[in-house]
Amino acid sequence: MFKNAIIYRLPARWHINAGQLSQHLAPQTFKRAGNMDMQSQGWIQPRESSNGLVHQVNRQFLLRLQTEKKILPSSVINQVTRERAKELEEQQGFPPGRKQTKELKEQVTDELLPRAFTRLSSMWVWIDPVNGWLVADSSTSARAEEALKLLFKAVPKFPLETVRTVMSPGAAMTDWLASDEAPEGFTVDQDTELRSTAESRATVRYVRHTLEADQLRQHIETGKQCTRLALTWADKISFTMAENLSIKKIALLDVLKENHELTGKNDDERFDGDFMLFTGELQKLLKDLIKALGGIVAEPMKEKL
């Protein structure tokens, strides 16, 4: 399922069903980019068997945002523009000025755009209206916000909140390393990054390396703070948390997979079973993680995203 998680909050027991949400999203159904479009973005059916644009399993919603981008490197545009500018200079006897060069570049872009290659990508969005979570499978907040912009536009008074905790993730991770003690239910793994708060921004990274408490304390005492830390929750899920609370490298561990046998099921049943397993465990992980960070300070998001 998800490899990354950018996390947001919804009011618990958000009163909207899958059919209503699908109707709101229908005008934003994905359409292929036109000849003169650099990009097209919209919602697609999460599964071919999905009933509309929202796939529901056990009161959990799954959305899929698809993006088509034209691949038109600026180096190609600039090269063709220079060739055209040289031809124009030969015709008129003097090099084109700034305004003329800009117009040439726009003309070249318009000519090349219909012939550009395209790249399709998609992003999962999980909505838990029961426990109040919205999670985007993205490694960056900027990409996740592309989905949020569409949701704000589609859903009237979409009640989304950013997740701000009592203790900042960076400060909490630094404390865990300094005390050599992870919060209850978690263990610290072998990857971390510490960065200086000084202007130098000096950075130390450990990758698949035993974390020695004394060494880490020395770095912390010199003004470094933990910006990334690999953790395992309940011996079931490993992940890496960043200082902005984004989660990456999510992996279900063997102990969890072994207890989840779906042999003999068809693809749709396996998919739904995996989705139920993933969301059920991630709900618990998020609850424990927020508790370890002191709880949530609600902060409504602005629709101007």
Check residue 36 and give its pLDDT: 84
> Same domain, yes or no, for 102 and 219?
no
pLDDT at res. 264:
54
> Residue 146 domain-assigned?
no
Residue 116 CB neighbours (<10 A)? 17
Instruction: Give yes or no: residues 108 and 173 share one domain.
Output: no
pLDDT of residue 30: 97
Asked whether residue 184 falls in the same domain as residue 293, the answer is yes
* Residue 180 placed within a domain: yes
In 3-state terms, what secondary structure has residue 97?
coil
The predicted model scores a pTM of 0.86
Using CA atoms, how far residue 249 sits from 4, 239, 240, 275, in Å, is: 6, 5, 6, 17
Task: Give the pLDDT of residue 147.
Answer: 97
Assess if residue 40 is contained within a domain: no
- The reply to whether 111 and 189 lie within a common domain is no
β 133-136/39-44 pair status: unpaired
Same structural domain, 190 and 253: yes
Query: 178 and 269: one domain?
Result: yes
In a domain, 9, yes or no: no
Residue 221 lies in a domain: yes
Same domain, 90 and 210: no
256, part of any domain: yes
**What is the predicted pLDDT for the residue at 262?**
55
Domain shared by 109 and 180, yes or no? no
> Is the separation of the CB atoms in 85 and 96 below 8 Å?
yes
Q: Which stretches of the chain score pLDDT less than 50?
A: 304
Distance, CA of 258 to CA of 128 (rounded, Å): 25
Residues 185 and 245 in one domain: yes
What pLDDT does residue 275 have?
93
> Does residue 88 lie within any of the structural domains?
yes
- Considering the domain architecture, whether residues 288 and 174 belong to the same structural domain is answered as yes
Same domain, 174 and 245: yes
* 170 in the same domain as 287: yes
Residue 286: inside a domain: yes
Give the total number of structural domains in the chain: 2
Give the structural domain span for 248. Answer: 166-298
